[in-house]
A and B are shown apart, each in its own frame.
Chain A
Amino acid sequence: MNWLYDSVEPRVMDEDMLKLAVGEQGPRDEAGQLARQEGIVFKDVLSLRLDFQNILRIDSLWQFENLRKLQLDNNIIEKIEGLERLVHLVWLDLSFNNIEAIEGLDTLVNLEDLSLFNNRISKIDSLDALVKLQVLSLGNNEISHMMNIIYLRRFKDLRTLSLSGNPIAEEEDYKMFICAYLPDLVYLDFRRIDDHMKELAEIKHQYGIDELKQRENLSQAQLDDERAQREELEEHKAAFVERLNGSFLFDSMYAEDVEGNKLAHLPGVSELLQAYKDKFVIICLNIFEYGLKQQEMRKVELDTFNECVQEAIQENREQGKRRIAKFEEAHLLSLNAIRDESEVTNLEMKVAEHSKDITELFDMLMTLEMQLVEQLEETINTFERNIMDLVALFIENVQSLMAQCRDLENHHHEKLLEISINTLEKILKGELDENLPYDVRALFVDKDTIVNAVGTSHDLHLLKIDNREDELVTRTNSWCSHLVDAIHKDEIMRNRRRVKEIHQYVDHVQNELDNLECSEIID
């Protein structure tokens, strides 16, 4: 295909090659001199050109983390790879290579301009991650199927597309089809699409587009629904009462309960079961609603707390800033005064005075900070107490509601046992006129079997209820402790940062003074 391909050896992308390229394309003149002096770090490079290098395999590019523009055209690359780290890439040129499939672009979410001109691509694919794509060049490839165009509908920002030189460009309907299915497109094959053309295309393919749109809308609606459901579930989870707004827990109690399901066939049990289920679901709903309400309360509490803390921090910060601004003015003046001073004794006096000022500033800032720390500590402790109380109350109430569930279960169990024993007696006496399924009848052999069966079912139910309760309690508690820990940690971090900042600033100011002194003395 390419004469270079035959005559020149393929080259490997290594450090030297990259360094050379970077050096050549780096800053010029004085800046270049400086750059050479210091050496260029690959991380700082924003644009890199590697064309006509006979590269066969993309490699060693992982250091160029901040690269915005990469040109790899006119090489003999066969596979797109090694670009995963270049997440900031905006412009990628891979034209005039031997690429057969689009791949390896899944991390390049910022890509806006992609050129794959003159390759061997036959299918437009794997571009899903490129949501910002504006320019796509796919000319001189082997794309033959019109349906590839429909794939491009997902790129809302796509304005420029080139597909000439592909088998599909030969087709009669080529232009119309693209104009109709990509209505936002402005340039096709480097030409502006005129409005008349657009209208024509739209009329021609109206049915197809409408159908497609309908399908897209449907799938979009489905996606939205799913997302909404997921969000709702997340919300319920945050309130620790997910799946309690229905018969989910009750159903799960009977899901694995073989005996229980069998016993449901007994006469009178189904009514009993129904009543039991209704009552159970009502209690579950109670728990659910209570949980949401409590969650709301906790949220309000947390928001107020955060707001107040932020306010306090802001106010303190403003005070600190004011102090520093005031000091800075004085600092500049006294530095100038010291610089102008020629008398040694006066000089010393002034320097001493200024260092006193600096110490004063330091003390002041530290006092402010300590004051804030004390204030916040008190507030945080109050909040901690309150949130703990809230959580404890929540757990207590949920537990009492769960206990009601258990009571219901016990009650149901007793009733079921009674019915079972009655049935057993009837069967033993042969009075039972109803036909029971065989496996149910198998339970009614003797009293122990039936009592065991009923007991197993009961135990299983209790276990399920206990598990749910435990889950709720553990999660609530862990949320609470995590929250409190995080608040404490944040506060400590904040304090450390501020203290560090103050030290740094004061050191800097002191340094300035010292430097001045040194230079004075030298003079």
Chain B
Amino acid sequence: MEVLKEKVEEEEEAEREEAAVRAERGEKVVRPMEVRREEAPMTQEMLRDLERKLSDTEMAIPEKLSTFTKDTIAISKLPLSYQSNTLKEEHLLQVADSFSRQYSHLCPDRVPLFLHPLNECEVPKFVSTTIRPTLMPYPELYNWDSCAQFVSDFLSMVPLPDPLKPPSHLYSPTTVLKYQEGNCFDFSTLLCSMLLGAGYDAYCVNGYGSQDMCQMDLTRDVCPLTVKHQEVVQEEEKVPPKKYAVKPPRDLTSRFQQEQETKKQEEIKAEEERRLREEEERLLDVEKAKTDPLHGLRVHSWVLVLSGKREVPESFFIDPFTAHSYSTQDDHFLGIESLWNHKNYWVNMQDCWNCCKDLVFDLGDPVRWEYLLLGTEKSHLSLTEEEEDGLNDDDDVENLGKEDEDKSFDMPPSWVEQIEISPEAFETRCPNGKKVIQYKRAKLEKWAPYLNSNGLVCRLTTYEDLECTKTLEIKEWFQNREDMLELKHIDKSTGLNVDYFKPGHPQALRVHSYKSMQPETDRIMEFYDRARVDGLVKREETSKTMTEYYRGRSDFLFYRHVSFGDRVKKLSLNSAESNPRPIVKITERFARNPEQPADEDVAERVFLISEERIQLRYHCRDDHITASKREFLRRSEVDNKGNKIVMTPDMCISFEVEPMEHTKKLLCQYEAMMKLKNEEKLSRHQAWESELEVLEILKLREEEEEEHRLTISIYDTKRNEKSKEYREAMERVMHEEHLRQVEAPLDYLAPFLAQLPPSEKMTRWQAMRVKDECLSDFKQRLIDKANLIQARFEKETQELQKKQQWYQENQVTLTVEDEDLYLSYCSQAMFRIRILEQRLNRHKELAPLKYLALEEKLYKDPRLVEFMKVFV
């Protein structure tokens, strides 16, 4: 390879000299590609190669061509750089041609390089200059994954006209963005531009991909959204046994039996595994499609991101169609011809027999990667040094020096206009705001926000079978819903619906899973407990029970379970509201209240309402294993004969952990019982209220589902009517202000021009007169002003003199006050005189300058200039 390199260098040298000479002559060098190719020496090998390629081409069925053809693009509106080449670009094309010639000479069995396809104006452009590194103004597009996702969403994919050859045209990213369509090369050029702008070490790759990848066929891929994140089980750190840790009790079970047991278990497991594996294999066979006859020949383009910059730990590929990242060892990538960024072009000299698995991406290695431009050859190596030094400028200077020494050629700047994405387009993302992707057993649909009236932005449908006929589950994502609904998950197999809400639902709802919206059926509601006064976290309902979980309550309640009995038949209408179900049992559990002794702190309280019993279980003391219990019986105050029942000791059965410590006075128990009766009432009321709340929430949900109103942020000036009005009003005011300012500058010629007869053309004489008049008028003005100041000055001085005289005469008879007055007048008058004097001097100084300035202005005045020129 060394030899080739040297040769290339020599040729380049020669080429460059030639180009320089030509440039001096000022010759216009626009030669179409074909001409140059004809000039290239046709070797035997090349012919054979061409032949083979042609036969290949015939095999491929030409698919539908890109829908936006040349005539749909308004070429004339494109900037100049699109329509022609600069000298430097011409030079580059020559270099590239010579490189390509040598390449085909030295590697005759390889396909010609993809170097300078035509752009939308049919002008050959070098691929590196088509990349325009741009940092997008959206913070969302700062990272590679979101960038790739944006590109894949924003553009719709057009297959290559010939799947076995690189395209003949490569449009600028701006055009691609405008029409939202492109082939894989357009995709990767755009993505590469964005990634380079964001600071990644990214490259466009021309290579070979699998059929699925080239045709953006994801039907054999598992949808990334369906893959469940495997929770990383954190290994608990084993605490080293402490010095005095007790020894575990001796294990008395038979080890032999254990072994037998595990053996049996293992056998069963192995059997199951085998079965599973067979099943999988069978499925795989079904899934495996017919092998691709063109495997390894399909041209594809993708993006390579090298490690080093932006904290990328390892080099990886990005498929611009799907925005998936792959390791460089992935099976989908079958080979690389060349790669380029905005600075240079490298040809892969490594063998790709084993896909891309053995490739080494050290672009500084000239044996593995043949570079096109010498100057940036060491860019890869020098970059690392640069980072170590941490000083960009110095190194750049050094590099420049080196380049000069090598007399190398620098990559010309990109001919592409700056890439711009309007906020509207950024928000809409997909073409027409909608995109459908078919995955293996799944379908993903995407919409732009506010496109659907119910706020739907994404729907994922998973299917049971490969043909996508039997729906398994549907997941729908929403945005900007007023009811804060975020995700709706419908499981078709079980009929279970789960709604997920963001914080902010009026009832603080977080998750609602249900099978039907009918009350008193199985459902689970989870809440944002911090937003609720009662600290409710979760409420589970079945047809007969309701369980509520609380958190952070001041009464330490954390669990309440209510069992309902059958509804008593009533003649009146049987709605849940008017006729609540009878409560059979209420169980409440409390956390430990640290302020109370454990024996008096109730842990669990059960109201057996039908049996008229109350059971209390207290908390366990710190050093005990049993807890006190108490049970109250027959609490009705009046027995069936109407007599008042007096509390007797057998109405309260209790088990005390420390029987000696407590006075078991009947009075205390009576009081406790009375208190509990009240509490029972409260608990029943609570249960009833909870039921009501469920009904209310269900009603609210139904209303919300019907209305599905969307919220509009006040910062969203386009959609928010109010802010739009306000903004428009502001703009109007600004506009008026601006108009007024525009009117302001005075036209010093206007009065003189107005004197002229309204003929169509001014004569030179007239112009001269206008000028002279204007100047003399100005002079008069200046003189008048000077006179005015002079007059004032004199007047002031006279007055002061008079006053002084008067003072001299009456000095003896003056009172102290008068004298003070006089003195203050004097100082003020002196001040005024001084100021006038200064103004006069200043005016004298400035007047000639002002005069000259006006004269100059008049000379340059567009209405007079043509007359003046001749005159001068």
Contacts and interface: CB of A to CB of B under 8 A. Distances in A.
B625 A365 contact: yes
B64 interface: no
B716 to A, nearest CB: 48
A36 to B, nearest CB: 10
B242 A308 contact: yes
Contact of B646 (A33, A371, A376): A33
A504 B646 contact: no
A317 B243 CA distance: 21
B669 to A, nearest CB: 9
A24 B242 CA distance: 63
A191 to B, nearest CB: 35
B623 interface: yes
Given A304-B242, A312-B246, A494-B623, A30 B657 contact: no
Given A30-B646, A498-B625, A38 B620 contact: no
A278 interface: no
Nearest to B657: A501
B246 A379 contact: yes
Contact of B249 (A41, A321, A375): A375
Given A30-B646, A34-B647, A34-B670, A317 B242 contact: no
Interface residues of B, number: 25
A304 B667 contact: no
A372 B249 CA distance: 9
A383 B245 CA distance: 11
Contacts of B624: 317, 501
Given A31-B671, A308-B244, A320-B625, A37 B666 contact: yes
Interface string A339-352: 00000000000000
A38 B665 contact: yes
Interface in A307-321: 307-309, 311-313, 317, 320-321
A307 to B, nearest CB: 7
A331 to B, nearest CB: 11
B246 A376 contact: yes
A379 B625 contact: no
A232 B523 CA distance: 65
A508 interface: yes
B655 interface: yes
Interface residues of A, number: 40
Interface in B645-688: 646-647, 655, 657, 659, 663, 665-667, 670-671, 674
Nearest to A317: B625
Contacts of A376: 246
Nearest to B248: A375
Interface in A13-62: 27, 30-31, 33-35, 37-38, 41, 44
A371 B625 contact: no
B657 A504 contact: yes
A350 B674 CA distance: 37
Given A33-B646, A34-B666, A308 B245 contact: yes
A313 B622 CA distance: 11
A41 B655 CA distance: 23
Interface in B242-259: 242-247, 249
A313 to B, nearest CB: 8
Contact of B670 (A31, A44, A505): A31
Contacts of A504: 626, 657, 659
A324 interface: yes
A35 B242 contact: no
A305 interface: yes
A317 B623 contact: yes
A252 interface: no
Contacts of A452: none
A53 to B, nearest CB: 26
Interface in B592-640: 620, 623-626
B655 to A, nearest CB: 5
Nearest to B674: A31
A11 interface: no
Contacts of A27: 667
Contact of A307 (B242, B623, B647): B242
A304 B245 CA distance: 9
Nearest to B665: A38
Contacts of B229: none
A378 B247 contact: yes
Nearest to B622: A317
B761 interface: no
Interface in B502-558: none
A192 B332 CA distance: 84
A129 B243 CA distance: 47
Contact of B667 (A38, A371, A383, A508): A38
A317 B620 CA distance: 10
A34 B674 CA distance: 13
A129 B3 CA distance: 103
Interface string A314-341: 0001001100100000000000000000
Contact of A35 (B243, B625, B667): B667
Interface in B221-255: 242-247, 249
B290 interface: no
A63 interface: no
B244 A382 contact: yes
A33 B247 CA distance: 59
23 contacts: A27-B667, A31-B671, A34-B670, A35-B667, A37-B666, A41-B663, A307-B242, A308-B242, A309-B244, A317-B623, A317-B624, A320-B625, A321-B620, A321-B625, A372-B246, A379-B244, A379-B246, A494-B623, A497-B623, A501-B624, A501-B626, A502-B625, A505-B655
Given A31-B670, A304-B242, A313-B623, 9 more contacts: A30-B644, A34-B667, A37-B666, A301-B243, A304-B244, A307-B242, A308-B244, A379-B245, A497-B623
Interface of B: 242-247, 249, 620, 623-626, 644, 646-647, 655, 657, 659, 663, 665-667, 670-671, 674
Interface of A: 27, 30-31, 33-35, 37-38, 41, 44, 301, 304-305, 307-309, 311-313, 317, 320-321, 324, 365, 371-372, 375-376, 378-379, 382-383, 494, 497-498, 501-502, 504-505, 508
> Top 3 A-B pairs ranked by shortest CB distance?
A320-B625, A308-B244, A375-B246
